[in-house]
Chains A and B, each alone.
Chain A
Amino acid sequence: DGGITQSPKYLFRKEGQNVTLSCEQNLNHDAMYWYRQDPGQGLRLIYYSQIVNDFQKGDIAEGYSVSREKKESFPLTVTSAQKNPTAFYLCASKARGRSGELFFGEGSRLTVL
């Protein structure tokens, strides 16, 4: 079945450590997205990518980095520069062309100890 797979589902990190969240899709979608979700703040856009080897900053990119070396993969690294990284992270993808539905993964919950 086609879909988006995020891993790990739960992740614990010590302060000062970088951590990478995986996002893989087999929908053949061109665009991929990373959102951060905090209670009462909705989904805030971190980074998005329209095509391979290209990505743009969203509204809260500071302290995060991404890469898009393959169409199906869009990993997110939460760096030690991110001051408050504890959150629920959602990856999504969308087909090229006329605007349409975002397909979401089930999310990764990161907790900084």
Chain B
Amino acid sequence: AQSVTQPDIHITVSEGASLELRCNYSYGATPYLFWYVQSPGQGLQLLLKYFSGDTLVQGIKGFEAEFKRSQSSFNLRKPSVHWSDAAEYFCAVETSGTYKYIFGTGTRLKVLA
């Protein structure tokens, strides 16, 4: 069965520092991969997605992610974090053709001024 693992529950970084949030997936074929962000008490917003092709994908708000098949990973990165990036981040995978969409447990990001 497909699954998504986000090993870091909380991450704290200083404003202006770089950021990397980890995501590992378990799925036989190439999955569709996503990163979402959630502000407290709200729904989720899509940051970026990967279906195929270039393994480095760009998203909104200056985020990017790299798909590494050999490591079953899809890590999210940002070169310089802003205080407004403080939120919870979720990695997700969709099994191609089934519409089943599974999320990881999330990583809560805190940004220090």
Q: Which A residues fall within an 8 A CB radius of B? A: 4, 31, 33, 35, 40-45, 48, 50, 56, 58-59, 88, 90, 92, 94, 98-102, 104-107, 109
A-B contacts, 14 listed (Cβ < 8 Å): A31-B99, A40-B9, A40-B105, A41-B105, A42-B103, A43-B90, A90-B43, A90-B44, A92-B44, A99-B94, A100-B49, A101-B49, A104-B44, A109-B41
CA A48 – CA B98 in complex, angstroms?
A: 10
**Cβ of B53 to closest chain A Cβ, rounded Å:** 13
B27 at the interface (CB under 8 A from A): no
Contact A106 B43 (CB under 8 A): yes
B13 at the interface (CB under 8 A from A): no
Cβ contacts under 8 Å, B36 to chain A:
102
Q: Are A35 and B103 in contact, CB atoms less than 8 angstroms apart?
A: yes
Residues of chain B from 4 to 29 with CB closer than 8 A to chain A in the complex: 6, 9
Whether the pair A98, B51 counts as a contact (CB closer than 8 A) is yes
Contacts of A35 in B (CB 8 A): 103
With CB as the reference atom, state the residue of chain A lying closest to B88: A42
- B72 CB to nearest A CB, Å: 18
Instruction: Kindly provide the distance from the CB of B60 to the nearest chain A CB, expressed in whole angstroms.
Output: 11
> How many angstroms from the CA of A58 to the CA of B99 in the assembled complex?
11
Whether A99 touches B90, Cβ cut-off 8 Å, given contacts A40-B9, A40-B105, A104-B43, is no
Q: Is the CB of A102 within 8 A of B49?
A: no
Distance in angstroms from B5 CB to nearest chain A CB is 10
Residue among B32, B34, B41, B43 making CB contact with A105, cutoff 8 Å: B43
Q: How far is the CB of A78 from chain B (nearest CB, A)?
A: 19
Bound Cα distance from A99 to B43, whole angstroms: 19
B42 nearest in chain A by CB position: A106
A21 to B92, alpha carbons, bound, how many Å? 24
Per the bound structure, the CA–CA distance linking A43 and B72 in Å amounts to 21
**Residues of the A chain whose Cβ atoms lie less than 8 Å from the Cβ of B92:** 102
